[in-house]
Structure 1
Amino acid sequence: MTEDRKPEELDPTAPEAPETPEAPGASGEDSAVQATPAPEPVAGDDAPAPAGGAADTPSADAADGADADGDAGGAGGTGAAGDSETSAPEADIAPRPETAAEAASGAESGGASEAAPGAKDDGDGEELQEMGLLGHLEELRIRLTRAAIAVVLGACVSYAFAEHLYRFIIDPLMPFVSGGHLIYTSPAEGFITYIKLAAVAGIFLTSPYSFYQMWAFIAPGLYKEEKRYIAPLAMASAMLFVGGALFSYYKVTPLAYEFFSSFDNEFMVMLPSVKESLAMGLKLLFAFGIAFELPLVIFFLARLGVVSSAGLRRSRKYAVLGAFIVGALLTPPDPASQCLMAIPLVLLYEIGIWLAHFFGKKTAPAAEEEEAAA
């Protein structure tokens, strides 16, 4: 391309460039210049040669004399270059073609974000929808409603056997009662007693379903491999709950009644009421039923990595002290029943330590601590 020159830098001896003819009959020199054939475009040139410039002709004689035309041609060339430079950013902005792998990955990521914008992955490919506080409260309400409906249905069925349930619950007390019968001081107390016994029987009867609702409420916060324990945990919870109540009925309650009846003499006669006797018996049933859930709670926390067997071993002395405190709070104020609750709690704590050792989540620091403790 011919370099642009300022007018003052032009050669004064060079002939002035002929003006472009505006009408036929121009001079011969102009005709000769116009008749000069345009050079053939060289192969590989991207931009076409600027038209109308005298400097674009191969004539060597007019090389220095056609500066004006050269300037005009240079202006044309500059315009072409400017056009090419202007179009360069457009080429950079244009998206480059994606490869098949990039297109597939982009489609997957875009589809996942559009499909579940508020979802999270649990590590096994299963998406868990995140819930806010209101969502969790709504889920809790649904679970509690289902459990309550099940308990009401169980109580309605159990009320048909209310008299048999009453005889079953007071049977450990009857050998220590003078006269062989209990008393009640309120006209409606007998009916209310049957209602309470039917409700308690409904709770124990539907305990597997109620525990399943409790574990199902916790399930959304667990990983897929942990969710498979929900049904076994619900069944184990019900079995331990009923097992603790039966242990209280056959072992603890008779000893507690025997201890309290030892104060019966010629000056005092034990005439227990139905209300007080039922309250004491049901308190022991629920206290031992809940206390027997301790190994299951330790197992669940160990699976989540909250506790470890090494940490439980280090806290053994505090657990023993806590077992006797719980026994004093949940049982009648007699040493026999308190010890009969504290000792099973300590044994259940030891079982929980072994469950945490075999089934707990293993981490590097926890494994080193267990090896050091062993």
Structure 2
Amino acid sequence: MELVEHLKELRTRVIISLVALVFGTVVGFIWYQSAPPGMQTLGEILRGPYCSLPAENRVALGNGDECRLLATRPTEMFMLRLKVGALAGAVISSPVWLYQLWAFITPGLHKQERRWTVTFVTLAVSLFVAGAILAYYVIAVGLGFLITIGDETQTAALTGGDYFHFLLAFLVIFGVCFEVPLIIAMLNIVGLLGYNQMKGKRRIIWVATFIFAALLSPGGDPFSMLILGIAVGVLIELSLQFCRWNDKRRGIDSEEFAELGDDDASELAYRPDPIMPAEPVRPVAPASSSTAAVPDKPAPSVVPNSGSYFDDVL
């Protein structure tokens, strides 16, 4: 297609994705407070970690011990519901806009590239969801630690904005950290990272994993840092085993260069012929004259003033 046709196709697919996103946002906005029979509302699902705390560790708002969050501004509840609905809408409409993105880039890919792209996207989404689910169950323990650490003098009365920002930060950080093993595997597939380069650095990898888990964990509590570090470390170890299998499948001998340093040269894979000693240079023989001298052609015996001479010339 021409450039204008590509732009028209892009415009159409963007419009379809935006319509699906708006529709999903409306569904999420309604689901936040209303749900079909037998299902929890989105607000109840997201409040789950906070409401799982003992009643004495949070302020009782509403009727009795009903679990509610606090709002301190007139527009806070509406804006919070709109933000949560938009996030839910992005998840609900993800099959539509992911398909539109895939349909736009597919014609420019080869068959092998399409197969790897499908595998990569599927694993990326699965790992992110797995990290978010783990974070959802970890939040209750981490939040309980943070709230009860000073309950002798304070009682937690969290606002909806603060709590949901804390919750969403947990979900996103756990989900993104779970993508690290996939990045390692993809670097190995394209040949930029080998198993031999990482197998001797496992201690450094584990220490770095726990350091980053401590820095990235939103709550800062030891339990969430420990769970994040162990989970990501186990996934990285699985990715290393994949790199080991992939290198062996491609015929890369990871043990061959294990003992060599960065500045050491490896042995050649073949044995060249030995270099023989130089022979003395033989004297050059003079060139023999094989061509006889050509005798001079005798001049014609004619009289210059004769007419036959000039007739021959003409």
Q: TM-score, normalised by structure 2?
A: 0.64
Query: Which of 322, 327, 352 matches 2:213?
Result: 327
Q: How does 1:134-283 map to 2 (within 5 A)?
A: 150-163=20-33, 164-174=41-51, 175=53, 176-179=57-60, 180-207=67-94, 224-250=111-137, 252-283=138-169
Partner Cα distance (2:16, 2:248) in 1: 32
2:247–2:253 Cα contact (<8 Å) kept: no
- Bigger helix fraction: 1
1:241–1:292 Cα contact (<8 Å) kept: yes
In the alignment, which residue of structure 1 is the partner of 2:291?
none
Q: How does 1:102-121 map to 2 (within 5 A)?
A: none
Q: CA-to-partner distance for each residue in 1:146-201, whole Å, 9 max, x for gaps?
A: 76654443222222201211111111112242313221101111111111111221
CA 146–166 in structure 1, closer or farther in 2 if over 3 Å, else same: same
CA 205–351 in structure 1, closer or farther in 2 if over 3 Å, else same: farther
Q: How does 1:351-366 map to 2 (within 5 A)?
A: 351-359=238-246
2:70–2:160 Cα contact (<8 Å) kept: yes
Q: CA-to-partner distance for each residue in 1:233-279, whole Å, 9 max, x for gaps?
A: 222222221111111102x1011111112224342111111111111
Return 5+ residue gaps in structure 1 as ranges.
Answer: 1-128, 132-136
RMSD: 3.5
Partner Cα distance (1:154, 1:333) in 2: 33
Percent identity over paired residues:
30
Quick one: which amino acid aligns to residue 50 of structure 2? L
Quick one: which amino acid aligns to residue 246 of structure 1? I
Partner Cα distance (1:308, 1:140) in 2: 38
Q: How does 1:49-68 map to 2 (within 5 A)?
A: none
Partner Cα distance (2:168, 2:162) in 1: 10
1:288 aligns with 2:288: no
Return 5+ residue gaps in structure 2 as ranges.
Answer: 34-40, 61-66, 260-314
Secondary structure, in 3 states, of the residue corresponding to 2:220? coil
Quick one: which amino acid aligns to residue 299 of structure 1? A
1:369 aligns with 2:254: yes
Partner Cα distance (2:205, 2:25) in 1: 37
Quick one: which amino acid aligns to residue 326 of structure 1? F
Partner Cα distance (1:165, 1:320) in 2: 37
What is the CA-CA distance between 1:291 and the residue it aligns to? Answer: 1.5
Partner Cα distance (1:217, 1:327) in 2: 37
Q: TM-score, normalised by structure 1?
A: 0.54
Partner Cα distance (1:157, 1:334) in 2: 35
CA 310–235 in structure 1, closer or farther in 2 if over 3 Å, else same: same
In the alignment, which residue of structure 2 is the partner of 1:11?
none
Secondary structure, in 3 states, of the residue corresponding to 2:253? helix
Count of matched residue positions in the alignment of Structure 1 and Structure 2: 238
